[in-house]
């Protein structure tokens, strides 16, 4: 990378792909940290904008001209936008990154060195931390109804404490797509992101297919990346919750047992009943309940 001019884009080894949707608030910190973090690497940075209306594209063009900006004419969702970025990048290694992250200077190089040293690994992810330093659990085991309960009630609380000190790398069943470095070969073998998802679970689904192709996934907490989380969805709370449940159902239909799928549907029906019986009149709850009912009855297709 030439000094102060952004990453080199001639035959890069590393491609960074970001998807943005109305996240102008976090873009300056993210891209400024990224410019420093890929300095000295053979890298390119591609940002795919999902028709933001908050001035994000203008900000990128004016303040970060070294970023290759791709503007969609509508919000096509996170998986499809990532696939668009992937189709336009050239690196043998692709670094998928959320716009509400701040990347330490040595992070990409450390992740890149780790995956290059382990040819069996298809993707590697760092530890994600909140701005106050609190650990986010950004990896897990195979997803099913009982394993999700076990992860949320047992594993997540345990690892939030254990990872305060642990730097031990470990093989995992999935990694968060908020900050994920993958081999191009593993993404291509897996068939890219499933565009049937719009938001949520697309990263877990991709990881599942990467491992099905014989690659391993590595959680590498030696590297820690700051991640706000929910930046693009915080203003759309009930819509975001609906999208989560829609994607969760799709994932279970693709990958989980019939029992897990039945139990998930039963659980969601109980949520609908509980919201319907609530005496508290809340417009968001009503919209969420009605939307969830449409999803479960197949009227939302």
pLDDT in tens, 109-150: 999 999 999 999 999 999 999 988 888 989 998 888 888 888
pLDDT, one tens digit per residue, over 41-95 is 999 999 999 999 999 999 999 999 999 999 999 999 999 999 999 999 999 999 9
How many Å apart are CA 283 and CA 102, to the nearest integer?
A: 35
Q: Under the phi-then-psi rule, with left for phi > 0, alpha for psi from -120 to 50, and beta for the rest, what region is 149?
A: alpha
117-to-113, 114, 121, 179 alpha-carbon distances in Å: 6, 5, 9, 19
pTM, full prediction = 0.89
């Amino acid at each position: 990378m030439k000094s102060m001019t952004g990453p080199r884009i001639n035959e890069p080894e590393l491609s960074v792909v970001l998807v943005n949707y109305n996240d102008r608030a976090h873009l300056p910190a993210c891209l400024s940290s990224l410019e420093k973090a890929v300095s000295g690497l053979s890298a390119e940075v591609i940002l795919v904008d999902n028709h933001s209306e908050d001035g994000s594209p203008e900000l990128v063009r004016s303040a970060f001209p070294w970023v290759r900006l791709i503007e969609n004419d509508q919000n096509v969702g996170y998986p499809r936008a990532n696939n668009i970025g992937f189709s336009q990048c050239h690196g043998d290694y692709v670094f998928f990154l959320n716009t509400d992250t701040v990347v330490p200077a040595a992070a990409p190089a450390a992740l890149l060195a780790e995956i290059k040293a382990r040819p069996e690994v298809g993707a590697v992810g760092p530890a994600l931390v909140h701005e106050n330093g609190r650990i986010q659990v950004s990896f897990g085991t195979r997803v099913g109804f009982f394993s999700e309960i076990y992860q949320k009630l047992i594993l997540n609380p345990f690892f939030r404490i254990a990872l305060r000190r642990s730097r031990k790398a470990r093989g995992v069943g999935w990694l968060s797509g908020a900050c994920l470095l993958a081999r191009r070969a593993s993404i291509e073998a897996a068939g890219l992101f499933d565009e049937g998802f719009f938001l949520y679970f697309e990263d877990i689904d991709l990881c599942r297919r990467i491992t099905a192709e014989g690659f391993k996934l590595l959680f590498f907490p030696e590297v820690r990346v700051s991640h706000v989380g929910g930046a693009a969805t915080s203003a759309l709370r009930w819509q975001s919750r609906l999208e989560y449940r829609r994607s969760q159902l799709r994932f279970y239909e693709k990958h989980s047992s019939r029992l897990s799928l039945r139990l998930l549907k039963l659980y969601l029906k109980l949520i609908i009943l509980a919201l319907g019986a609530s005496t508290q009149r809340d417009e968001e709850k009503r919209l969420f309940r009605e939307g969830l009912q449409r999803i479960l009855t197949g009227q939302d297709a």
